Structure 1
Amino acid sequence: MSEEREVFCLEDKYLRIGTVEQIQSVFGPQDKFIRTIEEKLHVSITARESELHIMGAAKKNVELTADILVSMFNIHSKGGELNVETIHRLIEEAADGTLLDVCNAMDESVITTHRGTPIRCRTAGQKEYIKSLRNDTITVCIGPAGTGKTFLAVAQAVRELENKEIDRIILSRPAIEAGSERLGFLPGDLNDKIDPYLRPLYDALNDILGPERVASYRERDIIEVAALGYMRGRTLNRSRLILDESQNSKLEMLKMCLTRLGEGSKMALVGDVTQSDLSKSDSGLEKCASIIKSVEGVGIVQLGNKDVVRSKIVRDILRAFDVSESKAAEKRNPGRGKSNIRKKK
């Protein structure tokens, strides 16, 4: 954290920063952010005008606290969001020695919403994901719930649309019920039938563009809904296709989807292999990633529990499940190796 210390001048146990107003903002409502750090690292933080005094029995914790506070002031000065979830993430990253990575990730702004709020990467994994979405023709992103897989794919698609890099956004999602695609029993036309399955994508679009613009774009087919099973035979030019919940697609369907790409188009396959409604042998996402990972223009991004931005309790729940599942797997298959999917360098 030497780069930040040059800015804020850490001396012994004192951290000299800017104004009293900055301190109040970074401390949070009723000093909630500082209380969180004090409880987690067993330190005491006191503000004296524009100087912070950090005290603690463990020197390492005092140093970690200083690094966290420097990062908080940097994030605040750049217009980044500080909330309890951000504080928990900074504490975890500081303990792991990767605090600078997460702070650098927060510098990455994807797009500004219709309300004027910038959408930023909040983890190093998310920054890698956005890099792949921008640079690779096909991005396969596999990760647990709450890592921003769908939201960031939609945000990047809107950015490309507004920059006139593409002409339309195509949203697709396997409509899986009881292990097969069943749309016929739902009332209405195709859009009405597939809409309930695409609600998370619409929520993201509404957050970014606003409901009125989304409705206008849909009327003009700038934003198109396409059931995966109805895409066979199409060629998609100057489009961004987002296939959400792609762990619910069989390998042959993913192959069909991938081969729809035409000139100037990009695709994002997004999914969580731990939440497949298909049997493990039928789900094609991991198999697809393994097959195409060495193809030029393909990026494979695997997000983990550290990339969960939805809520700290979601990260804790996922860790608990990971521990339980790992123990169960070890009992079933002692010494068995992990998944062979690796990110493309």
Structure 2
Amino acid sequence: MSSKPSKSAARNERRSVKTRSRNDDPLLRLVKDTDAVRREPVRARNELVKPLNDAQRAYDAAMKSSDIVFGIGPAGTGKTWLSIMRAAEALKAKTIAKIVLTRPAVEAGETLGFLPGELDEKFDPYIRPLRDALEEAFGSTHLEYLLKTGTIEARPLAYLRGSTIKDAWLIADEMQNATVAQFKMLLSRVGEGAKFIINGDPDQIDLKDGSGLYDAVKRLHKIDEVEVITFQRSDIVRSGLCQKVIEAYESPSDFRYNADNDERNTEGVKRFINAGGQS
């Protein structure tokens, strides 16, 4: 006479059946296959990096001559990509010891504490655009080595407090979403042999209480070691369609001068910079 299976054994069998069923799901297999394709190793580019327009040439020159560079303008102008490529060249030439990547984590109203996983996993979606450019510069395999050894480090903006950045390039992206206090904290991290590249788009501010980008430009623009480069819609190099999309979302009302010079108004950034930083 056969014995009746225990309740725990029967429960484990049911779980096993469900797991096999999920693994056989065509949609899940498609997701896994897609993920595998995305993780295909990327080879480092061998082509010489050249600026594509006057704005990029000015930005490139500023990165060579200044210690703090603001790159301000719409998406698709190549600010992030070009700064990553020049930082990679400096690291390969051993003129710096490290690259630090950072950005505020405020998009979509989320905070790192509510996202799943460890800190690296939580921050990865925010740093993904920078990582893609780094893979192009170093190749996937070498990039993983540089990340594991800490030669390239990605840290949320808030986690830079108390640090001193020296002999390194720090690239801060999406900085239109940093507050005045965060800018003060970040910019006071600069040490010997450090270069800070601050990129932002005043038209993509997600903060409810206003951005610290204009405040930082106003405070620092007269310092010799600081340079501010402005990109316009005509400087978009991502694609012609990208330029049309940006234009479609920017109505004439977006460019009216605010007589009260409200620092929370994004036009204040554009007007101030286009006027050469005159106050």
Query: Normalising to structure 2: TM-score of the pair?
Result: 0.75
> What letter matches 1:292 in structure 2?
L
**Which string of whole-angstrom CA distances, capped at 9 and with x for unpartnered residues, describes residues 160-205 of structure 1?**
11111110000101110455x7111223322111111000000000
Aligned length: 227
> What letter matches 1:135 in structure 2?
S
Structure 1 pair 199/129, CA: closer, same or farther in 2 (3 Å)? same
Structure 1 pair 339/233, CA: closer, same or farther in 2 (3 Å)? same
Structure 2 equivalent of residue 199 of structure 1: 128
CA–CA distance in 1 between the matches of 2:68 and 2:106? 23
Match of 2:162, SS state, is coil
Structure 2 equivalent of residue 312 of structure 1: 240
Structure 1 pair 309/231, CA: closer, same or farther in 2 (3 Å)? same
> What letter matches 2:67 in structure 1?
T
Q: RMSD value over aligned CA atoms?
A: 2.3
Match of 1:267, SS state, is strand
CA–CA distance in 1 between the matches of 2:185 and 2:207? 18
1:341 paired with 2:273, answer yes
> What letter matches 2:216 in structure 1?
C
2:228 pairs with one of 300, 317, 325: 300
Structure 1 pair 227/328, CA: closer, same or farther in 2 (3 Å)? closer
**Can you give the 5+ residue segments of structure 1 that lack an aligned partner in the other structure?**
1-112
Structure 1 equivalent of residue 7 of structure 2: none
2:164 pairs with one of 225, 228, 235: 235
**Structure 1 residue 119, shift from structure 2 partner:** 2.1
**Structure 1 residue 287, shift from structure 2 partner:** 1.8
CA–CA distance in 2 between the matches of 1:119 and 1:169? 18
Higher RCO (CA 8 Å, separation ≥ 6 residues): 2
**Can you give the 5+ residue segments of structure 2 that lack an aligned partner in the other structure?**
1-42, 260-266
CA–CA distance in 1 between the matches of 2:253 and 2:202? 18
2:58 pairs with one of 119, 128, 132: 128
1:213 paired with 2:145, answer no
Structure 1 pair 265/331, CA: closer, same or farther in 2 (3 Å)? closer
Match of 1:205, SS state, is helix
Structure 1 pair 330/286, CA: closer, same or farther in 2 (3 Å)? closer
Match of 2:133, SS state, is helix
1:224 paired with 2:158, answer no
Match of 1:146, SS state, is coil
**Are 2:257 and 2:271, in contact at CA under 8 Å, matched by a contact in 1?**
no
**Are 1:299 and 1:344, in contact at CA under 8 Å, matched by a contact in 2?**
no
Larger deviation: 213-222 or 285-294?
A: 285-294
**Which string of whole-angstrom CA distances, capped at 9 and with x for unpartnered residues, describes residues 207-228 of structure 1?**
1111011100001100001111
**Are 1:132 and 1:299, in contact at CA under 8 Å, matched by a contact in 2?**
yes
Structure 2 equivalent of residue 152 of structure 1: 82
> What letter matches 1:141 in structure 2?
G
**Are 2:44 and 2:135, in contact at CA under 8 Å, matched by a contact in 1?**
no
CA–CA distance in 2 between the matches of 1:317 and 1:125? 20
**Are 2:70 and 2:199, in contact at CA under 8 Å, matched by a contact in 1?**
yes
1:164 pairs with one of 77, 94, 105: 94
Structure 1 pair 332/123, CA: closer, same or farther in 2 (3 Å)? closer
CA–CA distance in 2 between the matches of 1:332 and 1:137? 31
Decide which structure has greater strand share.
1
> What letter matches 1:262 in structure 2?
G
**Are 1:143 and 1:304, in contact at CA under 8 Å, matched by a contact in 2?**
yes
**Structure 1 residue 233, shift from structure 2 partner:** 0.9
Structure 1 pair 314/177, CA: closer, same or farther in 2 (3 Å)? closer
CA–CA distance in 2 between the matches of 1:339 and 1:124? 19
1:284 paired with 2:212, answer yes
Structure 1 pair 252/122, CA: closer, same or farther in 2 (3 Å)? same
**Which string of whole-angstrom CA distances, capped at 9 and with x for unpartnered residues, describes residues 216-248 of structure 1?**
000110000111101111111101111100001
Structure 2 equivalent of residue 82 of structure 1: none
Structure 2 equivalent of residue 247 of structure 1: 176
**Structure 1 residue 344, shift from structure 2 partner:** 6.6
**Structure 1 residue 305, shift from structure 2 partner:** 1.2
**Structure 1 residue 275, shift from structure 2 partner:** 0.7
Match of 1:117, SS state, is coil
Structure 1 equivalent of residue 3 of structure 2: none
> What letter matches 1:313 in structure 2?
L
> What letter matches 1:341 in structure 2?
I
